[in-house]
């Protein structure tokens, strides 16, 4: 079986993970920060599918070369995250942007809470990071990148499978809030750090990878 056939076999086992052109780059370059061989790459794909299904199609693991696919759109805001003071600053400036678009206030507050949790996670667990907000047409996309140790993907998989992603005991309150209130969540882990992308759809009930 070729790499391409194997990729689509994993992708097609259950719900399609995302709408994405035919894979051309081969398997991901890294898995938990370690250079992978073909077998480890296959394990990464299986882990991605298991986490995606365990979180009811809410959390998708991605690798570095997929980041641009999920952060397309017009850049609305960009800032560094280096100190605790950057958290309320980013929260306030993004709220001002969203308020100016006259969106539903309750949903806007949910989005701001998620963005605040993302920024807080950077300050708590990484040396520094950055946050960007895009208008992606039918949704807003927030991408937060850091230079920290990232998530342990095996641990993440075990917790989502064992306890259910919606419980505080399984993933922690902050990450639980993010998964509950965001429409889609993408997580990227590399040896340089991690990135979390969240999408907030402008219309309710629209969420397709």
Q: What is the CATH number of the domain that holds 135?
A: 3.30.565.10
Q: Is residue 46 part of a domain?
A: no
- In a domain? residue 143: yes
Burial grade of 22 (CB within 10 A; 0-12, 13-18, 19 or more): exposed
Number of domains comprising the chain:
1
Is residue 208 situated within a structural domain? yes
Position 161 scores a pLDDT of 60
Write the DSSP string, 160-175: HHHH-TTSHHHH-HHH
Query: Which pLDDT band holds residue 40 (cuts at 50, 70, 90)?
Result: low
Task: Indicate the pTM of the whole model.
Answer: 0.74
Q: Is residue 93 part of a domain?
A: yes
Query: Could you give the dihedral angle defined by the CA atoms of residues 142, 100, 103 and 66, in that order, rounded to the nearest 10 degrees?
Result: -20
Task: Supply 196's token pair.
Answer: 């979390």
pLDDT (average), residues 16-22: 37
Q: What is the pLDDT of residues 144-161, one digit of tens each?
A: 999 877 677 777 766 666
Three-class secondary structure of residue 123 per DSSP: helix
Domain hosting 173: range is 55-209
Let me know if residue 21 belongs to a domain.
no
Task: Return the bridge partners of 146, or none.
Answer: 129, 194
Is residue 63 in some structural domain? yes
Residue 37 pLDDT greater than 70, yes or no: no
Which pLDDT does position 166 carry in this prediction?
A: 45
Res. 119: pLDDT tops 90:
yes
Is residue 11 one of the residues assigned to a domain? no
């Amino acid at each position: 079986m070729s790499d391409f056939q194997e990729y689509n076999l994993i992708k097609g086992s259950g719900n399609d993970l995302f709408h994405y052109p035919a894979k051309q780059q081969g398997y991901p370059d890294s898995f938990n920060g370690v250079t992978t061989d073909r077998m480890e790459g296959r394990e990464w794909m299986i882990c991605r599918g298991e986490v995606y299904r365990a979180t009811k199609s809410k959390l998708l693991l991605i690798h570095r070369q997929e980041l641009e696919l999920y952060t397309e759109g017009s850049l609305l805001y960009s800032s560094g995250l280096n100190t605790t003071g950057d958290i309320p600053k980013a929260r306030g400036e993004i709220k001002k942007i969203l308020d100016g678009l006259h969106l539903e206030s309750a949903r806007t507050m949910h989005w701001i809470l998620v963005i605040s949790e993302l920024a807080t996670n950077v300050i708590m667990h990484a040396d520094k990071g950055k946050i960007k907000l895009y208008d992606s047409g039918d949704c807003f996309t927030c991408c937060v990148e850091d230079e920290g140790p990232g998530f342990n993907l095996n641990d993440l998989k075990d917790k989502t499978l064992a306890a259910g992603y919606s419980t505080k005991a399984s993933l922690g309150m902050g990450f639980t809030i993010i998964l509950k209130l965001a429409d889609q969540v993408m997580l990227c882990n590399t040896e340089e750090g991690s990135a979390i992308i969240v999408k907030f759809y402008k219309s309710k009930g629209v969420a397709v990878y």
